[in-house]
Amino acid sequence: MGERWGRREVLIGTALLVAPLNLLFLFVNQYALIAVVYFFIYQVTNGTWSGAGYAYQAESFPTRVRGTAIGFLGAMFAGGLLIGSALWTILVTFVTPTVAWVIIAVGLALGQWMTLLLRRIPPDRSWRR
């Protein structure tokens, strides 16, 4: 999809789906539907970002700084995991797991909508230096 429409557009489309899917996951109560919703959550987060996301990162930086830039983005990702885990731990101490889920998985997932601000890189062009 990223080769056809552009990686940015794929990332935007999937980012817009994360919060609604996470909210739907909270209300589904049949095992088969839970599995389907979870599959789609996995695809729009890990599946898309491990393909179009890493390709977009590689296309965003010139070769001479690409390794440093992607290393920094990887460190930011690891930092986000630490902060998210700490936030979850603090929240479930004071609120129910459902409220914590709504705050983190739905509310904070809206932050992914910042992909709308990504620079447009045509699907047939990248840094070639």
pLDDT confidence of residue 53? 83
pLDDT confidence of residue 129? 43
pLDDT confidence of residue 128? 52
Residue pLDDT, tens place only, 55-109: 888 888 888 888 899 899 889 989 988 998 999 999 999 999 999 999 998 888 8
Residue 36's alpha-carbon distances to 29, 41, 56, 99, 122, in angstroms, are 12, 9, 27, 23, 32
Percent of all residues in the chain with a pLDDT value above 90, rounded to a whole number: 40
127 pLDDT above the threshold of 60: no
Single-letter amino acid code for the residue at 114: M
